Structure 1
Amino acid sequence: MTALSPDSVETSTSPASEETADAKSHRVRWLVLATLGLAQLMVVLDATIVNIALPAAQLDLGFDNSNRSWIITAYALAFGSLLLLGGRLSDLFGRRNTFLIGLVGFALMSAVGGASVNFGMLVAARAGQGVFGALLAPAALSLLATTFTDPKERAKAFGIFGAIAGGGGALGLLLGGILTEWATWRWSLYVNLIFAGVAFVAGFILLAKHAVTTRPKLDIPGTVTVSAALFAIVYGFAHAESDGWGNTVTLAFLIIGTALLGVFVVLQRRVAHPLLPLRIILDRTRAGSFLAVFVTGAGMFAVFLFLTYYMQSTLGYTPITTGFAFMPMIGALILTATVSTGVILPRFGPRVLIPTGLLVAGIGMSLLTQVSLDSTYPMHILPGLIIMGLGLGASMAPAFQSAISGVNLDDSGVASATVNTMQQIGGSIGTALLSTIAASAAATYVTDNVASASSAAALQANAELASYTTTFWWASGIFVLGAVITGFLLRPGLLAEAPEGAVVIGH
């Protein structure tokens, strides 16, 4: 399959026309990257953009605090549990078709969500966004892999794409704050119509149609099993966030999800056309890259959540100010994502780069543990954010590229889906785990200091601060542990070449 329109190719074989074809092909490839990046940005934005809008939506629609988390959880459940299915569908029915259908569906569900008149309608729309996001995200990443096969161009493309995947969550906080404060919470959903509309038109024009000549049967037992397993795991961790790890429902879903994953592995070894061929995850470099994406997802979403709470609740920042506060981190992330994939990864390989990036991110997170009730942004927050951004960019973008390098063309969709699944599940698990740790740290502080507190307000403020600093320490430890494990898993040497069978116009 080619990800470029055949119309962009000159038929003449003269040197001048060949040069023209190459130039057109080059331009079209970067337009394809812009299209795929815009779609990826939309999907990643929606993991955080609604967070800022939640209080306004709650006031407007009248649902209580106990139901509020479902606006976030519904998206995560549908998206996380169906990603592998979406990836395999893109392999079976064409990445272009799956990409365009995902865009249309995501836009429709966003419109329904923005027009919601009650809590149930909003939750259903968010779940619908997750379903179509599960089609869209793996198709976009696999299209990227099959479009860019030249090593230098591929490194730049993955650097940009990885920066979008890493920084999109922070941009969502900023955009959510701006739209909620200057317009209405509904525009945090309506804005997707703009993103999806532009990406659809560009994708329809630029992406070539893919004629599927062989269509193996879909692994229905594997699909049902892994979807149920991922649903149970995400729900179990989400339930732990509100009801604790010892809750019967929490334990039941986590145990069932883990058992179903075991069943899924057994099924994949026996079926003729597995949903997730085990050769994809048993490769050491890909396994280490998947783990790196999981760890960065867990730590990144945690810092967005808890640092947002700290800046707004403790320091009194507005939503817009909070969003802008994350911008230096995004700048650092973009810088190292492009440099690491374009310069360092082709020379030294992922084993040097990815663990180092995770370690640097852990150092940046550890600096945030020094915040206090009267901290200043330039002295106590900015340095940690910049160092974190440098580390995340140096680990996430190379991990995205390493995870799908050398994958057979027919498996690129499901390999891409696995990358997205690891990021989504990592974010869900990290948020739930650290939320529970935060609640425990706050309760412990209150118990230990209630007798000596000068006032109830001071006790509450210090308890919240203790919860933030504790979670930052734990998140730092997660990054460091990820650095150690990936250092052992990743093979030394350079990455494999582009997927076999990928075709680029002009070559």
Structure 2
Amino acid sequence: MTTNNSLTADIDSPEHPPGMTGKQRIALVVLLTASFTLAVDFSVLNVALPAIGADLGFTIENLQWIATSFALCAAGFTLLMGRIADLAGRRRMFLIGMVLLGAGSLLGGLATTAELLLAARVAQGFATAIVIPAALSLLLGTFAEGRARDRALGLNGSLMAAGFTTGAILGGFLTDLLSWRWAFLINVPIAAAVLVVAPVVLQESRRTRRTALDIPGAITVTLGLLALVFGLTSAAESSWTGSITLISLALAVLLLGSFVLIERRSPFPLVPLPIVVRPNVAWGNVAGVLAFATETSLVFLLTIYLQKVLGYTPLAAGLSFAALGIGTVIGGLVGPRIIARFGSKAAIVGGFVVQGSATMPLALLSDAAASAWLLLGVTFIGGVANLVVIVGFMVTATSGLRAQDQGLGTGLATMSQQVGIVLGTPVMSAVLAVVVLRSDVASSDAVLSGVTTAIWVNGGICLAAAAVIWVFLRPQEN
């Protein structure tokens, strides 16, 4: 192997061992730190919403915009930003996104009005859309396909999933002990540290062919995703049959359908359809959507159960997910080993089967305090299995892509993750609401019945996903 000191030469050599160089380890820490921080931002403010509303004058019906404004930008712009990273340079976009994250977080921590805080959340969401696909592309470029990349993707997946759970716990601690403002301000020194180290250890990508940005495709897909996410969040806040929900979802179908037609005719498509219809890309991303939708919506259901049935405080409810968080970290570590031995398809299918089998016993939850032990045990197992699925999805959906298409592949994977997070809660919320509304009074018994019914649905989706992926996924050999 050549003694060239460049990172690219090290990773591109076929004789390079599966271990990591020192520079690769530092690069991995930088990328994982950024991804974990943004994952935390998805949920860190959930338990702080009442305090924010009281301080800044949000009405009850407008509190949901603190989460919705973030989700709209994070999911709506991620595919576009992933493709722009391909054209403009992934390290450059990563750094721009981290600057925006730091600025938006500082604005949020210092906000004195509702408008300023929403502007901060928009900035954080847009930063997420820029950083996550760029970080994943840089990770793929740092590690060649094989064991080292699988390990890196496993760590990335475990920290992304753990970040969602950690956000609830961290938000509770910061709000109770300091102020909700620290849920924003904590990002500022992290962003600054990443901006200092990243230029040294991350190598810029280079375009290998002449291309251009597909403007009509970019407009239709971005507006279509914004309409989809807005419709899903509207369904969660009001109902699936509300006029705003139906109009938004119909508009999403129209815009995304138009996007497909545009891509068929574009000389420089934003999303080349031959790549999207590859079995590993298409079904890998389906697995990703379902993996994130089922686990994040389960957290929503169990939060309702812990607070409305067992009477836990928000902080105690957040701490109850510590076992789930530990399980996700372990799943991210063992996932690459399972993939190396059995392949990514077996990891996804087996992970869904175990996740569904661990979810079903939660239907036995009752109003007895001892039920918390059941919750801790099975959510730990489900967390391990869910991360095995997520690692398998990431490996499958991003394998076999050319260097110039890695931003597209990671953009699709990131979009799947974020749409899954947004999709799951409205679906489970609708199931819960149907059962609760059948009761004359929204008592704890009615809530418990609704939660357990939704848990059956959640577990059933996991098992159905395993069957679908088993039948249709034909991934490339790992």
Is the shorter-chain TM-score for this pair beyond 0.5, marking a shared fold?
yes
How far off is 1:114 after superposition? 1.6
- CA distance in structure 2 between the aligned counterparts of 1:223 and 1:492, rounded to whole angstroms: 28
Instruction: Find the residue that maps to 2:21 and give its secondary structure.
Output: helix
2:216 paired residue number: 221
Matched, 1:349 2:332: no
Q: 1:492 to 1:188 in 2, by over 3 A?
A: closer
How far off is 1:474 after superposition? 1.7
Whether the 8 Å CA contact 1:169–1:304 is kept in 2: the answer is: no
Whether the 8 Å CA contact 1:58–1:68 is kept in 2: the answer is: yes
Q: 1:59 to 1:151 in 2, by over 3 A?
A: same
Matches within 5 A, 1:315-330: 315-330=310-325
2:202 paired residue number: 207
Matched, 1:162 2:157: yes
User: Which ranges of structure 2 fall in alignment gaps of 5 or more residues?
Assistant: none
The partner residue of 1:471 within 454, 457, 461 is: 454
Q: 1:194 to 1:473 in 2, by over 3 A?
A: farther
Aligned length: 471
Deviations 1:101-157 (A, max 9, x none): 000101111111121212222122111211121110100111111111162211211
- CA distance in structure 2 between the aligned counterparts of 1:484 and 1:209, rounded to whole angstroms: 41
2:466 counterpart letter in structure 1: A
- CA distance in structure 1 between the aligned counterparts of 2:369 and 2:409, rounded to whole angstroms: 43
Q: 1:212 to 1:65 in 2, by over 3 A?
A: same
The partner residue of 1:403 within 374, 397, 409 is: 397
Instruction: Find the residue that maps to 2:319 and give its secondary structure.
Output: helix
How far off is 1:62 after superposition? 2.0
Instruction: Find the residue that maps to 2:37 and give its secondary structure.
Output: helix
Whether the 8 Å CA contact 2:69–2:125 is kept in 1: the answer is: yes
Instruction: Find the residue that maps to 2:269 and give its secondary structure.
Output: coil
Instruction: Find the residue that maps to 1:46 and give its secondary structure.
Output: helix
1:467 counterpart letter in structure 2: G
- CA distance in structure 1 between the aligned counterparts of 2:274 and 2:17, rounded to whole angstroms: 35
Percent identity at matched positions?
32
Q: 1:217 to 1:49 in 2, by over 3 A?
A: same
Deviating more after overlay: 359-368 vs 414-423: 359-368
Q: 1:23 to 1:481 in 2, by over 3 A?
A: closer
- CA distance in structure 2 between the aligned counterparts of 1:189 and 1:306, rounded to whole angstroms: 26
Matched, 1:82 2:77: yes
Whether the 8 Å CA contact 2:98–2:127 is kept in 1: the answer is: yes
Matched, 1:151 2:151: no
Root-mean-square deviation over aligned CA pairs = 2.3
Matched, 1:488 2:477: no
1:439 paired residue number: 433
Deviations 1:31-52 (A, max 9, x none): 1111111111111111111101
- CA distance in structure 2 between the aligned counterparts of 1:283 and 1:384, rounded to whole angstroms: 35
Deviating more after overlay: 471-480 vs 179-188: 471-480
Whether the 8 Å CA contact 2:231–2:248 is kept in 1: the answer is: yes
1:388 paired residue number: 382
Q: 1:386 to 1:23 in 2, by over 3 A?
A: closer
**Could you tell me the TM-score, scaled by structure 2's length?**
0.93
The partner residue of 1:131 within 120, 126, 130 is: 126
Whether the 8 Å CA contact 1:349–1:493 is kept in 2: the answer is: no
1:501 paired residue number: none
Matched, 1:276 2:289: no
Q: 1:378 to 1:257 in 2, by over 3 A?
A: closer
1:370 counterpart letter in structure 2: L
1:456 paired residue number: none
Instruction: Find the residue that maps to 2:352 and give its secondary structure.
Output: helix
- CA distance in structure 2 between the aligned counterparts of 1:329 and 1:190, rounded to whole angstroms: 26
How far off is 1:55 after superposition? 1.4
Matches within 5 A, 1:10-409: 26-149=21-144, 151-212=146-207, 214-341=209-336, 343-376=337-370, 379-409=373-403
2:188 counterpart letter in structure 1: L
Instruction: Find the residue that maps to 2:77 and give its secondary structure.
Output: helix
**Could you tell me the TM-score, scaled by structure 1's length?**
0.88
1:251 counterpart letter in structure 2: L
- CA distance in structure 2 between the aligned counterparts of 1:66 and 1:5, rounded to whole angstroms: 57
- CA distance in structure 1 between the aligned counterparts of 2:18 and 2:157, rounded to whole angstroms: 25
Whether the 8 Å CA contact 1:177–1:320 is kept in 2: the answer is: yes
Instruction: Find the residue that maps to 2:45 and give its secondary structure.
Output: helix
Q: 1:24 to 1:290 in 2, by over 3 A?
A: closer
- CA distance in structure 2 between the aligned counterparts of 1:219 and 1:471, rounded to whole angstroms: 41
Instruction: Find the residue that maps to 1:275 and give its secondary structure.
Output: coil
Whether the 8 Å CA contact 2:41–2:167 is kept in 1: the answer is: yes
- CA distance in structure 1 between the aligned counterparts of 2:205 and 2:476, rounded to whole angstroms: 34
User: Which ranges of structure 1 fall in alignment gaps of 5 or more residues?
Assistant: 11-18, 451-458, 496-507
1:131 counterpart letter in structure 2: F
Deviating more after overlay: 221-230 vs 478-487: 478-487
Instruction: Find the residue that maps to 1:386 and give its secondary structure.
Output: helix
